[in-house]
Amino acid sequence: MKPALVVALALTTALSTSLTAARPVSYTGAWTLIAESDRQWTGALLHYTPSPKWSLGVRGEINRDHDYAIYSLHPTVLAKRWFGSNYQGNFYLHGGVGQASGVNGNPLGSQFAAFGGVMADWETRSLFVGYRSRYTDAGHFGDQFMQVLRAGFAPYEGDSGDLHTWLMLELDHRSSDPDSVTATPLVRLFKGQLLLELGYNLTVNQPLMNFTYRF
Amino acid sequence: MKRIQIACFVAASLMAGPIAASQEEHSHDGHHDAITEHAQMSHEHSDAAGHEQDAHDHSSHDSRAQDPSEDAHAAASAVTLTRTSEIDAALALGGEPVVADVMGVVCDFCALAMNKIFSKRDEVAAVYVDLDTKALSLVFVPGTSLSDDTIAELAVQAGYRIAAIRRGDAALGSAI
């Protein structure tokens, strides 16, 4: 895929769209570009994997509801991976430290910000279950705890290089929001180095679009 | 106070990684031993779950290895080299074929990682990861090769684990 097309897709995703990182730690020496958006946050993450145990990235994200952005260093640690002949399970710890700043006319000044949480997934070639949580403290911009549960299946099993398709349902819980629990059906497509997720949050009528490119 | 809690969490996360990593590397070491045993004994298994057990219980592995009927059954069901045009071309040049059973390869990103890591090696003329059989097929440049331990280490760099390795006729399925 041409680099310009990849950048265009990433920007399109970041401007329209969730905090879902498929394989947040990659193989040794890999770079990964992730653009993601959910019902409240829109962000992008570029990370490098120096070892299959951890990655380090730079993340920028905007809270569209409260008009502030967080720019952070984002390490992710693969704390444990379970292998089987037909399955794989992963448990990750992730976090970040950086700065929160007002955007879109928000007069509040910059503030130290940090976040942390866990991610876990288990998948076979045709079944997937995943969970992630994150607590964010952005000082005077506020704090938030969110957690997301996902389950899905692949209607067919593609081989290496094929187009892989998954149908998933995402349940999102944010206790501080008026709509604390929302549901988003989505389709995940990936082929080669590219992953794209398209969905629609039925509770709050917001699109979901995630994009991952590995190189 | 919350910020302090987050800072502690992030610090604990970063410390937990190397600890977990070292524990897993230790288990990989044990697995390398298992692979080496397989190579030395020149027999094949395709039951990766059995190999996972082998990595932790070598005495059990040894006793099974001495049962000729189980060996014959395992050899008959072992995964062989996946034939692609690139693999066939490399074979035609006289390269050594190798098949490795890989644990946890369930998605195309997994296959991509293995392809990227092994393709970087000058010794590798052709590589293919078959998600159906969970097998890594390699053909080396004629006159070159990679040891079982090196193949296992490269798989670890990709984030996965090798359960068994077969070479030559065993990889082609013509050793039975």
**Domains detected in chain A:** 3-214 (2.40.160.40)
Closest chain A C-alpha to B69 CA, distance in angstroms: 23
Q: What CATH number corresponds to the domain at position B78?
A: 3.30.70.100
User: Is there a contact between B131 and B5 (Cβ–Cβ < 8 Å)?
Assistant: no
Please list the rounded mean pLDDT of every run of 10 residues in chain B (176 residues): 50 44 39 40 36 36 46 67 95 97 91 95 97 96 97 96 94 73
Identify which of B47, B27, B107, B112 has the alpha carbon closest to the alpha carbon of residue A122. Answer: B107
From chain A, pick out residues whose CB is under 8 angstroms from the CB of B6: 95, 114-116, 135, 137
pLDDT digits (tens, 9 = 90+) for A113-129: 999 999 999 999 999 99
Q: Read off the pLDDT of each residue in A13-42 and give the average, rounded to a whole number.
A: 76
Across the beta sheet with B124-130, the strand order is B124-130, B135-140, B97-103, B161-167
Cβ contacts of residue B50 below 8 Å, gap of 6+? B64
Cross-chain CB nearest to B108 (options A53, A135, A158): A158
CA atoms within 13 A on the CB side of A145: 4
Decide if A53 and B17 are in contact by the 8 Å CB cutoff.
yes
| Mean pLDDT, chain A, integer | 90
pLDDT value, residue A127: 97
pLDDT value, residue B71: 55
Q: Is A51 on the interface with B (CB under 8 A)?
A: yes
Cross-chain CB nearest to B6 (options A78, A135, A195): A135
User: Is there a contact between B171 and B148 (Cβ–Cβ < 8 Å)?
Assistant: no
Q: CA-CA distance, B131 to B136, in Å (whole number)? A: 9
pLDDT value, residue A63: 94
**φ, ψ of residue A85 in degrees (nearest 5):** -65, -25
From chain A, pick out residues whose CB is under 8 angstroms from the CB of B111: 160-161
Closest chain B C-alpha to A31 CA, distance in angstroms: 11
pLDDT value, residue B147: 97
Decide if B49 and A214 are in contact by the 8 Å CB cutoff.
no
Which conformational region is residue A114 in: left (phi greater than 0), alpha (psi within -120 to 50 degrees), or beta? beta
pLDDT value, residue A206: 92
Q: Is A88 on the interface with B (CB under 8 A)?
A: yes
Q: CA-CA distance, A139 to B110, in Å (whole number)? A: 39
pLDDT value, residue A2: 57
Q: Is B49 on the interface with A (CB under 8 A)?
A: yes
From chain B, pick out residues whose CB is under 8 angstroms from the CB of A85: 47-49, 52, 101, 103, 134, 163
Report the residue of A76, A87, A93 to disrupt the B interface, i.e. the one with the largest count of B CBs within 10 Å.
A93
* pLDDT-based confidence at residue A64 (cuts at 50, 70, 90): very high
Dihedral sign, Cα of residue A78, residue A54, residue A5, residue A207: positive
Q: CA-CA distance, B122 to A76, in Å (whole number)? A: 31
Q: Read off the pLDDT of each residue in A3-12 and give the average, rounded to a whole number.
A: 49
Q: Read off the pLDDT of each residue in A172-192 and give the average, rounded to a whole number.
A: 93
- Which range among A102-111, A190-199, B55-64 shows the weakest confidence by mean pLDDT? B55-64
Decide if B20 and A125 are in contact by the 8 Å CB cutoff.
no
Dihedral sign, Cα of residue A62, residue A67, residue A73, residue A79: negative
pLDDT value, residue B67: 56
**Structural domains in chain B (count):** 1
pLDDT value, residue B78: 85
Above pLDDT 90, what percent of chain A?
81
Decide if B16 and A93 are in contact by the 8 Å CB cutoff.
yes
Strand pairing class (A68-83; A54-63): antiparallel
Q: Is A205 on the interface with B (CB under 8 A)?
A: no
Q: Read off the pLDDT of each residue in A68-97 and give the average, rounded to a whole number.
A: 95
Q: What is the DSSP secondary structure assignment for residue B90, as one 8-state letter?
A: H
Q: How far apart are the first and last CA of chain A?
A: 11
Residue B123: count other Cβ atoms within 10 Å of its Cβ.
Answer: 15
Q: Read off the pLDDT of each residue in A174-189 and give the average, rounded to a whole number.
A: 94
Cross-chain CB nearest to B157 (options A27, A77, A95): A27
pLDDT value, residue B59: 36
From chain B, pick out residues whose CB is under 8 angstroms from the CB of A158: 108, 131
Single pTM value for the model: 0.77
* pLDDT-based confidence at residue A22 (cuts at 50, 70, 90): low
pLDDT digits (tens, 9 = 90+) for A36-51: 998 999 999 999 999 9
Report the residue of A28, A122, A193 to disrupt the B interface, i.e. the one with the largest count of B CBs within 10 Å.
A28
Query: For residue B29, what are the domain limits?
Result: 2-172
pLDDT value, residue B173: 86
Decide if B13 and A23 are in contact by the 8 Å CB cutoff.
no
